[in-house]
Amino acid sequence: MNFWGDEQFSFFESILYQTLGQSVEVIEAQFLSGGDINMSAQVFSSEGVFFIKWNHADQSDMFEVEARGLDLLRQTDALSIPQVIGFGREMDKAYLVLEYIDPGPATNASWDALGHSLAVIHSHTQPKFGLHFDNYIGSLPQTNTLTANGFDFFFEQRLLPQAGMALYRELLSKKSYDALFRLRERLPDLLPADRPALLHGDLWSGNVMVSEAGQPVLIDPAVYYGFREADLAFTKLFGGFDQRFYDAYHEAFPLEDGFEDRVAIYNLYPLLVHVNLFGSGYVSGVERILKQF
């Protein structure tokens, strides 16, 4: 179906009718840059401005679990999280309606606030690693089976499923797959045995924005309770955040010495995710880390 022009407006109006329970006139819509799965738009309507994203994906629960993740982060009262207005299916498409937040420039104060706020989020804990529901990392399923041991969780629920998928797709060699099991034996010596911390789970620069008021905002989470250093390591995968962010976090919730030496181990997970999403270009990064450890 062609989703431009009047048909697109009808699609948005139908979504908003389902979400708000009343007729809504769409006045204007501006398409925004999206990922490989989702399309998104800023929608101006008679009932206000909304952020709507939708997809053709087979995972019908993708936006539902994203909404649950956003709500979980919002319950920490740590920083701005877009309000979930609604989610569902319309015209064979899944959709998510969120509060629209006007973006603004990042400042020193916003980086400080992000560091302190993430420390607050990470202070939220529970007895076991994982989560009471599964979700997604990008378009890939992310299992969150509750696990008492954090090292077992990191290996069995994070590294092993992605490595197994990459092996099956002939993107990862059997040699590298076997090396993961040797790394598993070393994890208790390489990583601190921290308590489960609530994580954003997909914390790269594209999932952090700053509001017009200068407040940091987190979007597109892949939440679970895990080792908090994994969130911080993820921020360094594509160049890192402003140093003020790390300084503010460490001031609020100090890390054990040697964090920089552990970053690569945590980032095996997002690298394996990228192998499965985008192909063999990321395999060398995985192999380099396995060789190192």
Output the CA–CA distances (angstroms, integers) from residue 79 to 74, 111, 167, 216, in the order listed: 7, 12, 39, 7
Q: How does pLDDT run across 44-80, given as a tens digit for each residue?
A: 999 999 999 998 866 779 999 999 999 999 999 999 9
Beta bridge partners of 183: none
Topology of 108-292 in CATH? Aminoglycoside 3'-phosphotransferase; Chain: A, domain 2 (3.90.1200)
Phi-psi region of 264 (alpha: psi -120 to 50; beta: other; left: phi over 0): alpha
Write out the catalytic residue numbers.
202
Low-confidence ranges of the chain (pLDDT < 70): 1-5, 34-36, 57-58
pLDDT at 6: 73
Residue 91: predicted pLDDT: 82
What residues does each domain of the chain span? 6-99, 108-292
The number of C-alpha atoms within 13 Å of 7 and in the hemisphere containing its C-beta is 6
CATH number of the domain at 6-99, out of 3.40.50.720, 2.60.40.1220, 3.30.56.10, 3.30.200.20? 3.30.200.20
Residue 35's pLDDT is: 60
Per-residue pLDDT tens over the stretch 167-186: 999 999 999 999 999 999 99
H/E stretch holding 252 reads helix 243-252
* Topology alike, domains 6-99 and 108-292: no
Task: Look at residue 36 in the predicted model and tell me its pLDDT.
Answer: 63
Phi-psi sector, 178: left (phi>0), alpha (psi -120 to 50), beta: alpha
Using alpha carbons only, how large is the chain's radius of gyration in Å? 20
Query: Given this model, what pLDDT does residue 131 score?
Result: 98
Q: Give the helix/strand (H/E) hosting 136.
A: strand 135-137
Paired sense of beta strands 197-199 and 140-142, if any: unpaired
pLDDT at 4: 53
